[in-house]
Structure 1
Amino acid sequence: MKKILLLCSQGMSTSLLVTKMKNAAKEKGIEVEIEASSVEKFLDKLSYYDIFLLGPQVRFRQQELHKVASEQNKRVEVINMMDYGTMNGKKVLEEALKAIG
């Protein structure tokens, strides 16, 4: 099962997107664990999740987090601003799964 964590400033603005992603996964019959958290909890969550998706408001942290994550073969990606703004859970899920491989 793939594990995806969405990160933003407080872990709140991504909560609706998590719900939409879970619904999209359910419609497609994909087993996936998706949660949201504050970017400050990244290190605590690093070993558990396969990929970390940054909300556009914290995209400036991508290089810093990628450096740490890559040491454990983990991905850190920024959610497309348009998909984030429209809460396109299906598209964000597809992109995350494609990035995981």
Structure 2
Amino acid sequence: MENINVLLCCGAGMSSGFLAQKTRKAAKKQGVNASVEARSESEIPQYLDAIDILLLGPHYASLKEQMQEQAAPYSVPVEVIPQDIYGMLDGPGLLKFALEHIQA
């Protein structure tokens, strides 16, 4: 598989950074070439032309429709990270979730 670029939208909090780090480790362990970064909501527009999927923290679920509108011209899917994956900082779970939605 080619390189995949995943962007997590967070409130610049620590948990999203840890989740991105754990997801990168899971990708490496599984042989998936993935770039996983966490950025604040205000930074999202500048990355839309370079990512394969935008994942929103559960606390940003209300912004999904707005983000989908911004991402539509780039054909970037936008999904809300399930609370259990986010809360447990489940890197392998987030990688699986992202891959499923990129290929959907």
With normalisation by structure 2, the TM-score equals: 0.92
Structure 2 CA distance for aligned equivalents of residues 11 and 85 of structure 1: 13
CA deviation string 1:68-94 (max 9, x = no partner): 212211111100001100011101111
CA RMSD of aligned residues (A): 1.0
Q: Give ranges in structure 2 of 5+ residues lacking alignment.
A: none
Normalized per residue, the structure richer in helix is 2
**Where has structure 1 moved over 4 Å in runs of 4 or more?**
none
Give the AA of the match of 2:80: V
Give the alignment partner of residue 87 of structure 1, picking from 77, 86, 89.
89
Distance 2:19 2:44 in 1: 18
- Counterpart for residue 54 of structure 1: 56
- In 2: Cα distance, 1:100 partner to 1:84 partner: 18
How many residues of Structure 1 are paired with residues of Structure 2 in the alignment?
101
Cα gap change, 1:53 to 1:4, in 2 (>3 Å)? same
| 1:46 match: secondary structure | helix
Q: Percent identity?
A: 34
Indicate the SS of the match to 2:74.
coil
Q: Secondary structure at the match of 2:98?
A: helix
TM-score (normalizing by structure 1): 0.94
2:34 corresponds in structure 1 to 32
